Amino acid sequence: MSSPSIPRRQQRLSELGDRRFDLLVIGGGITGAGIARDAARRGLSVALVEQEDIASGTSSRSSRLIHGGVRYLEHGYLRLVFEASRERRRLLEYAPHLVRPLRFTWPVYRGARVARWQLGAALTLYDALALFRNVGWHTRLSREGVLEAEPALETAELRGGAAYWDAATDDARLTLATAMDAAHSSATVMNHARVSALTFAGPGGMADGAVVQDMIGGQEVRVQSRVVLNASGPWTDEVAAMEGGTKGPAVRGTKGVHIAIPAVRVGNRAAVTMLSPDDGRVMFALPAGTHTIIGTTDTATAEHPHEVRAAKADVRYLLNACNRFFPAARLTEDDVVATWAGIRPLVASGNKGDPSSASREHAIRTSSRGVITVTGGKLTTYREMAEQSTDEVVRHLGIKVRKCDTSTAMLPGERAAASSSDIKLDPALPWREADVTHAVRHELAETVSDVLVRRTTIAFERKDHGRALAPRVAALMAAQLHWTDAGVRHWIAEYERDVARIFGVDP
């Protein structure tokens, strides 16, 4: 099935300046994309602007899990687990090409912080909060059952464990599919378009739009909108500052770091839940194609979201946990293929203690100047956040709209159709030259980074993060976007800078 066409960039820029929208959404992460999709499908005129690329921040740097959040049970967040379990089930139904069931094994060792009986009770509650409608119910495992499922696990002091079900996704492509469905529903979606200022209806008046700068061509447009919504995640407070006045922070950032290791070096067969030997927090070894993702950390940070990176201490923390549970791996820093970090934009109010116990619930508030701000939440619950946010927008507009249908409407996002003549970009990976062309024509890709980091997972799966492939990708994109030779060189150089920024490790 061919993907619906989307207007070219210049046409979309013209639309931004020529129309008065019902809703302007600032931020192209999963939250902003979800709101734009929901609002557009209900019949509102919507503009979505993102200063970098769709999913370029936290939404492409997660654990790639769609999960109920079993670890939230010990902190008493039962409502969150219930909501996340319901949304997990829905995602498996309306995005089966992007979300797949994933079996987890949780081994329990002598003296572990979570004993076998506690784990059994927690997973029974986990199944109950999913209304026993998960992919499968949990099962308790003997020592032999754990090792049958995951024979590479440490055997010493192993008492048994359990198996349970959650789901996995490609976080960047899930966000992209959500934004594309908004575009297919007549939203004007612009990536690489930065809000430089909010605009107001006179001094002290209500927000009525924003000044937006095209980061590709440099053009500046004034976007008019009846409602402005801030869904910029870690950048929330920067956007809020454009309203003027002094306010307390709306977001408390915590940093999550992941590493990717060749799967053959780790030896896991599916997902494994681990308790860190350093501090006892829950973490995972997750299958991701030819690699295993180990994550995540959870530490308070004041780093700017554009510059956040892992530190060597983060990498050692993750390697230590993996080596403790998979002793034959004997991993070192040389085994790490990729390291990345993202900032979780948690609600600041009430979240002052340990980041691991901080609430992942979301908040929707409206400022004195009419800007709606959405903070907190998690990847799994994005659709419900979007529904509630759009409800708030509709109340502000005071109009009748179509009923929300996002819990059942299928998401797009199929890859380009393969042909016998397609050439692979890397023999070891599934991505082809046709995927590059498709990304430019149908998926809003404008830069080499858009393709190698977010339309594909190449940057996460090669030790060089795709640097050697960048010239080839740039040449394919140039044919579509009419880059000059100087333009090709520029975007290759930009990719080098992005790789250092995203995948670099601080001392």
pLDDT digits 0-9 by tens, 391-435: 999 999 999 999 999 999 999 987 766 665 679 999 999 999 999
CA distance 489 to 13: 25
Closest CA to 75 of 292, 350, 310: 350
8-state DSSP, 456? S
Element (H, E) at 224: strand 220-230
- Cβ proximity of 186 and 40 under 8 Å: yes
Indicate the SS3 state at residue 24. strand
Rg (CA), the chain: 23
* pLDDT (0 to 100) of residue 407: 97
Core vs surface per residue 464-494: b (16+ CB within 10 A) or e: ebbeebbeebbebbbeebebeeeebeebbee
Average pLDDT over residues 349-367: 72
Q: Looking at the predicted structure, is the pLDDT value of residue 353 above 80?
A: no
pTM: 0.96
Question: Do residues 163 and 139 make contact, with C-beta atoms less than 8 angstroms apart?
Answer: yes
Distance of CA 458 to the CA centre of its chain: 16
For residues 23 and 315, give the distance between their C-alpha atoms in angstroms, rounded to a whole number. 42
Take residue 90 and report the two structure tokens written for it. 């829905």
Q: How far is CA 363 from the centre of its chain?
A: 18
DSSP string over 144-190: HHHHHH-TTS--TTEEEEEEEEEEEE-HHHHHHHHHHHHHHTT-EEE
Average pLDDT, the chain: 94
Average pLDDT rounded to a whole number, residues 126-130: 96
Neighbours of 220 (CB within 10 A): 12
The mean pLDDT value for 352-372 works out to: 79
Q: What is the mean pLDDT of residues 224-229?
A: 98
Q: CA quadruple 281, 282, 287, 288: dihedral positive or negative?
A: negative
**What band does 1 get if pLDDT is binned at 50, 70 and 90?**
very low
The pLDDT tens digits of the residues spanning 167-206 come to: 999 999 999 999 999 999 999 999 999 999 999 998 889 9
Q: What is the pLDDT of residue 348?
A: 78
Per-residue pLDDT at 351 exceeds 60:
no
Q: Which pLDDT belongs to residue 381?
A: 97
Helix or strand run (H / E) with residue 375: strand 372-376
pLDDT digits (tens, 9 = 90+) for 42-77: 999 999 999 999 999 999 999 999 999 999 998 899
User: What pLDDT, on a 0 to 100 scale, did the predictor assign at position 421?
Assistant: 67
What pLDDT, on a 0 to 100 scale, did the predictor assign at position 6? Answer: 85
Can you read off the two tokens belonging to residue 178? 């959500």
| Residue range 446-474: mean pLDDT, rounded | 98
pLDDT of residue 358: 59
Which of 252, 263, 217 has its CA nearest to residue 481?
A: 217
Among residues 52, 61, 36, which one has the least CA distance to residue 345?
Answer: 61
- Contact indicator for 336, 315 with CB cutoff of 8 Å: yes
**Ordered domains of the chain (ranges, CATH):** 9-58+172-250+358-397 (3.50.50.60), 99-168+253-345 (3.30.9.10), 433-506 (no CATH)
